[in-house]
Chain A
Amino acid sequence: MSASAYRKSGAAHALILIALAFISLFLLLPLITVFAQALAKGFDAYRTALVEPDAIAAIKLTLTVAAISVPLNVVFGIAAAWSIAKFDFPGKSVLVTFIDLPFSVSPVVAGLVYVLLFGMQGWLGPWLREYDIQIIFAVPGIVLATVFVTFPFVARELIPLMAEQGRDDEEAALSLGASGFQTFLRVTLPNIRWGLLYGVLLCNARAMGEFGAVSVVSGHLRGLTNTVPLHVEILYNEYNFVAAFAVASLLAMLALLTLVLKSILERRFDYQHGSVGH
């Protein structure tokens, strides 16, 4: 049946209406509220909340954490996807399961595991104390927790893509005399670039927005170990609504930007996919 057969049906109208109402109530309204609350006392109050030292520190920390954890996950993700999609080896299914682990475990549990491992009372606590290395309640812990929760994004995006592309292109490059590195740089990477960018985008959005795992390991030290989401929570708990929403509006804008970039990438991705059929 063609789509036009549905055009005038009442059921279609009703379904569209329900979907729109749902989106407005649960997605659009909260988004508007964030900006409305943030600007409730005017633009100056909004600006003050964003340039205040603790907010700046939180933004810097969030950017730092993302700048470390996203590249790490790009490397891990490509390596894992490459090995899973292009080779057969014992333990492959175990590896696939482990990649999904961060999706199935509550981020709070992930944070707690790091506390148990690296905390002062944890397994590695005495050793770390001896060498004066602080991981928990410090930046390294936040990075570790973020890497953990964002681990699957790049790999998950690349595995089906690389599996579908198979090994022919790489073998063709090798048979033409290319080295392994030339093959990766000139054949593999261009083949996966849009999928990779998509994965990076989702990974970055999650890295900047992560709350649960980071909350457990951070220690909430103002100006030191507070990321943007944690800073929002603190401000909110102090009944400083305008500042809380002002900082939260940054995350909302990140989300909107991510959505726009995501839809652009999806279009490129589809185009590339649709045009390579044999």
Chain B
Amino acid sequence: MASHVPDIATFLTAQNAKGQLRFITCGSVDDGKSTLIGRLLHDSQAVLDDQLAAAQSESRKYGTQGDAVDLALLVDGLQAEREQGITIDVAYRYFETERRKFIAADTPGHEQYTRNMATGASNAELAVILVDARHGLQTQTRRHSFIVSLFGIRHVVLAVNKMDLLNYDEATFTAIADDYRAFARDLGISDVHCVPISALTGENVFTPAKFMAWYDGPSLMELLETVDVAAVAEEKPFRMPVQWVNRPNAEFRGFSGTISSGEIAVGDAIEALDSNRTAHVARVVGPSGDQERAVNGQAVTLVLDRNIDISRGDVLAAPGSGMAVADQFAAHIVWMSDTPMLPERAYTLRLASASATAQVTDLVHHVDVNTLDKLAAKTLQLNEVGYCKIALDRAIAFDPYVDNRQTGGFILIDKLTNHTVAAGTVDFALRRASNIVWHDMKIDKVARAAAAGQKPCVLWFTGLSGSGKSTVADRLEQKLHAAGRRTYLLDGDNVRHGLNKDLGFTDQDR
């Protein structure tokens, strides 16, 4: 027994070398998700004696595995929840292997739990999406993948489960994997791994495949242990939303926050948004005192070399690193309340450390989470995803969500009930930031006219929709072109495909 226990120094060194992976598991009822999670907990020794004993005695009563332990019963509650039909929520589970420590958000798969899945997805670096090998990709697989891509999870492991029921057939797996890769590509998920497993027998979960000689890839656990999830955020420009101004006495004035991307060192220049002032970092105070530099993920307090007016809600950023400061943006939102979204209703928006009053001014479309079709909509119901424009009562600093989850993700809070009613991901800023100024260029209209040897002229075709403006203009342009004139035709519909893509047909947009 004692031989299993390392000495303390070895143990601590090993612990310190371990990284952390936060992942989400998604699958629908009966895909085998509970069995898989039970398997992960069991095989990583995260299950204690009493828990296992309980599962054993339950197995005999309720289990589906005869006298063997039904691993699904290790995953507490969920079964009971399902029986009683009460809300199935995200459950967090903790286990570790020799290489990593894992925090798994176990999320329910049904469409009515899309909001719970979104909650789990928001902090996950990787998603394990489960499918039953007998059924292949299902509607729910698409839905899960869409939510995963919407919440910016870059790494997806498609676990093709119950391979034992298909005699570990290679062709079946390959077909499902190929299907899925094509689908994931359309969604823009960059890193996809497909793994054949049997959660029930443990085949290819922890232990390498025994019955699938044709499979030469890593086991599920090997993937979870090795997928490279770091780096990305560290190479990005520095961002730190200011949470708290620390001013204990006249000598010390620091700005506390968690670094959401990039790194910072003593001497570096920073810009405070939205005040646009710059300063240099005089001290970086970390959890254990002063340090030379700090990186993404650390909670620090920065002292600047000069007094500039900064408060909670501002962001300290690398100067000129392109952070938007605006009061309007386009975003996807997932509606999370039983009360439907009301355009024009004032909600409280929370983004990084900032708060503002927000209105959904324009619901561009509603995305059917099952087919990914874009549909016209006037409102959003619980669990529906929409693409919309949001207007704030003041400008705040933010990034597109694809660039930074912490400065591009937001929630909406109902002002009356105080409920969190939506989660959103910023797409892009809609109004130009006020610090962009017009630059006078040397080549002007006269110079261009001289070079082209023609008199500049704009012709504007107006008329009702469908009256033939595009057709007439097209013929005219052909004539002019044949005559050797330089022309360019700006067609209303064509412009809406590009430059004006984000504008609709409301009076304001027109």
Whether A and B are associated in the same complex: the answer reads: no
